Amino acid sequence: MDILKEVLRYRSISIIGNYKNVGKTTTLNYILKAILKYNTHQRCTKDVVNKTRGYITLGLTSIGVDGESSDIVTKTKKPRIYVSKGTLIATAKSCVLSSDISKEILEVSDINTPLGNVIIFRSLSDGYIELAGPSINSQIKYICERLKNYGATLSIVDGALSRKTLGSPSITEGTIFCSGAILNKDMSKSIGQIVYEANILNTSSIEDPEFSKVYQSIKEHKIGLVNKDYTYEILNISTTLNCYKEVYDSINENTKYVVMNGILTNNFIENLIRSGNKYKNVTILIIDSTKIFLGKEIYDKFIKLNGCIKVINKLNLIGISINPTSINGYRFDEEQFIDRIQSKTKLNVFNVMKHEI
């Protein structure tokens, strides 16, 4: 797999993970080095390898704090983030002041963080930085738009622990999912969790042009029921939490879709199953897969009972970045680990440490 080629299909990507020390920063640094090599080639040869992109102007930010020298949770040493001249960076004021790279300040935003307001600047030299971006998804989306406005042709958002909602297609166009051996000493259990979470993120989207027309009228509401003739009903519900009874009571033989503008939880599915069998002829539609918060046992049970869950907006999952080494002192056989994961998913599985730049 040519990781950079896949990344360059998008104008913005996020890097997310399901645990600490699974390799998010390592994956980010790999991409940064690959882009530097790509841009150097463009300068030297004037040969546009990818005619739709040409020279890449990179925009960089994070959700929360990243790039610090040691992990604030595990106290282990972390890879530093190295940027090249010309990179557009959005990070907190204290991180800007502590960085030794030369910079051109472009904007001081109104977005506040514990480390100060988010500042957007252009690096005028190479060097190391610490990223401390916004903590709210809508703010991340805004920052990505501002980076694009200042000339970024590719924006990368480095994710925080378990912030999978960052991968939502409403925020970034593509996503890399990072995981690894640290999940469990038992390789099979690690593989099971990685494959499950990756496949949930890769949940299939609904392919129904008629529904797309109806959806425009119900997308602002928390719960909508769409019938087989594409008439619909809006339920008077303010949250998707603890609403299983209202939903179940509203389902009838004509119901085709239950549309949920919120998160899907274990509690909802468990109670839906207990309530009866009406859900078996209905597809539950979620805005995107980052809103699915179901444990593997509950999800598998629901699907086995002929339940159906799909998404309205599919997440573009570039691949699964795997770290076969755990900070807890053990390491899996890399080839076996990756091959076994790859055999259970159609997604690209890779270890950036084994890819040459």
Q: What is the pTM of this model?
A: 0.90
pLDDT > 70: percent of the chain:
91
**128 with 78, same domain?**
yes
What pLDDT score was predicted for residue 162?
57
Is the separation of the CB atoms in 170 and 296 below 8 Å? no
**76 with 221, same domain?**
no
**101 with 155, same domain?**
yes
pLDDT over 50 at 51, yes or no: no
Segments forming the whole domain that contains residue 263: 209-311
pLDDT tens across 170-217, in order? 899 999 999 999 999 999 999 999 999 999 999 999 999 999 999 999
pLDDT over 60 at 78, yes or no: no
Query: Which CATH number is 249's domain given?
Result: 3.40.140
Query: Which CATH number is 189's domain given?
Result: 3.40.50
pLDDT over 90 at 326, yes or no: yes
**328 with 296, same domain?**
no
What pLDDT score was predicted for residue 69?
46
pLDDT tens across 221-250, in order? 999 999 999 999 999 988 888 888 999 999
**184 with 236, same domain?**
no
What pLDDT score was predicted for residue 74?
47
pLDDT over 60 at 73, yes or no: no
Averaged pLDDT of the chain: 90
**169 with 298, same domain?**
no
pLDDT over 90 at 128, yes or no: yes
What pLDDT score was predicted for residue 163?
62
pLDDT over 50 at 29, yes or no: yes
**322 with 287, same domain?**
no
